[in-house]
Amino acid sequence: MNVFEGAFVKNVVKWSNARNLQSVARRLAPTASSISRSVPRSFCTSIRTVYQLQYRTFSTKPLEISRAETSRKKKGVRGVGADELSSSPVPVQRATAFCTAEEYNIEILLPLLQRHYAMQPYITEFVYHFKLRDSNLPEGGPEAFFFDDGTFVTWGATPEQNELLLLQIKAAEINGYRGPENEFFDYFQDPEQVSTMVGDTIVVGSDLAPYQAKLAFSSGMARSVKLGALESLLDTHLSKNRHIPSVLLSGRKLPLSRRAVLQSLGELFSLRGNLNLHNELLDSPDFLWSSKNMEKLFDRISRNLDVVPRIAVFNKKLDYANELADVLRNHLHEQHSLKLEWAIIILIAIEIGFELVHYAERLGYVDLDVLAKKQPSKLENMENMDSSNVPPEVLEEIQAAIDSSSSTSSKSN
């Protein structure tokens, strides 16, 4: 019974065997009342759940999807085995999302793309739709959606076309990243089905216009790659500063200059600004609110990519980075305070030295007038020295010192 319950409830068995499972459930249901007296209440609840499931009707028609294998994407995607999908003549293509910069300069981006591709009717202020067709491609060829936050998504484009796009838009990038962040999904179009996701495969159906379904999925994919780019930047920032806790634990001085500390703080402020300024990371885009179906597709692909859990993990990492920033900020403040303290100590020491000399003079231990009279005599003795071996420049400096001393003494007399 445990094996049957786990396999049926957790969807380990295929739905095509649902009728066989129904017969098993009917045979096992009459014994549930007797078993419930000798087993825990929680297990009896599970038995009743299984008994109720027998009255559901499940479709035994396999979903027609052609895919030899399903690849796992880099972040937050649950893989689906190829044995869960059936073969079909429907062609499967690939949708790929890229994030290359913090944002795009739209005034530069649009003219660059319009030279080579056909711009489609206006969608919204922040999204631009292009057909990547050429003379050898029929209607309905590859297309792309460009977002102003530094991301774009291609549908049905070849790797060569994607590489060409990356080169063409480079001039429009603002604060471009070292390497593009990317995600991909397999997809197919079937007018006999509704737009949805089956495992890691996108289905573009007939309940929405194809461009609307692709726009909803593109928004979710762009959101994921943008978050992935920020995750990479944050991981790089944390890896550069991961030695700080060990240095503090050992009681050693932080080997960081003022410039390095300021650079680290600037990187963290930039990450926080990017997260807070890009509202699409925290909420669905405004243009999805006009269509519940589009918003459902956006939420579906966001769940597939685990965007919400990744944002939670990102915020935890950001909190840790903030704590490191506080340590660096305190370190910078302590260094500055230490320099000021030493400067004050040196000035006080000089003032104390002068006061000690004047105090010694008042007590008669030091006579400043006698010391002042001895100084000209030393200069006169230097004047009487043999100057044959002394360079002319040195003699001139000595003569100037004697003249200035003589003028000072004459004024005092």
| Residue 335 CB coordination number (10 Å) | 16
Asked whether 127 and 189 are in contact (CB, 8 A), the reply is no
Q: Measured in whole angstroms, how far is the alpha carbon of residue 336 from the centre of its chain? A: 31
DSSP 157-192: --HHHHHHHHHHTGGGEEEEEEEEEEEEEEEEE-TT
Residue whose C-alpha is closest to residue 268's, from 324, 311, 226: 324
Is-contact 152 98, C-beta < 8 A?
yes
Q: How much is the pLDDT for 223?
A: 92
Contact of 66 with 197, CB cutoff 8 Å: no
Adjacent-strand bridge partners of 201: 186, 198
Decide: helix, strand or coil at residue 39: coil
121 vs 127: CA distance, rounded Å: 11
Helix (H) or strand (E) holding 153: strand 151-155
What does DSSP say about strands 196-198 and 151-155: parallel, antiparallel, or unpaired? unpaired
Give the DSSP letter string of 384-400: TS--TTS-HHHHHHHHH
What pLDDT is stored for residue 324 in this prediction?
83
Say what the pLDDT of residue 252 is: 80
- Cα(258)–Cα(344) distance, integer angstroms: 21
Q: What is the predicted pLDDT for the residue at 121?
A: 86
Q: Tell me, what's the pLDDT at 245?
A: 84
Each of the 413 residues of the chain gets a pLDDT tens digit; together they read 444 444 444 444 443 444 444 454 455 444 444 444 444 444 443 433 333 334 333 333 333 433 333 333 444 343 443 344 445 567 899 999 999 998 999 999 999 999 989 999 887 778 999 998 754 444 568 999 999 889 999 999 999 999 999 999 999 999 899 889 999 999 999 888 999 999 889 999 988 899 999 999 999 999 999 999 999 999 988 888 888 888 888 878 777 777 888 888 888 888 877 777 666 677 778 788 878 899 999 999 999 999 999 988 988 888 888 888 888 888 778 878 888 999 999 999 999 998 888 888 788 777 777 766 666 555 555 555 555 555 676 667 667 766 765 665 555 54
**pLDDT of res. 379:** 52
Helix (H) / strand (E) containing 243: helix 243-250
pLDDT for residue 26: 52
pLDDT of residue 321: 86
Q: What is the three-class DSSP state of 253?
A: coil
Angle at 214 between CA 213 and CA 215, to 5 degrees: 90
pLDDT at 279: 62
Q: Can you point out the beta strands (E) in 252-354?
A: none
Q: Which residues contact 154 (CB under 8 A, 6 or more apart)?
A: 95, 96, 98, 132, 142, 143, 144, 161, 162, 165
For residues 354 and 368, the answer to whether their CB atoms sit within 8 Å is no
Q: Looking at residue 384, what is its pLDDT?
A: 58
pLDDT of the residue at 274? 75
Task: Return d(Cα 204, Cα 191) in angstroms, integer.
Answer: 8
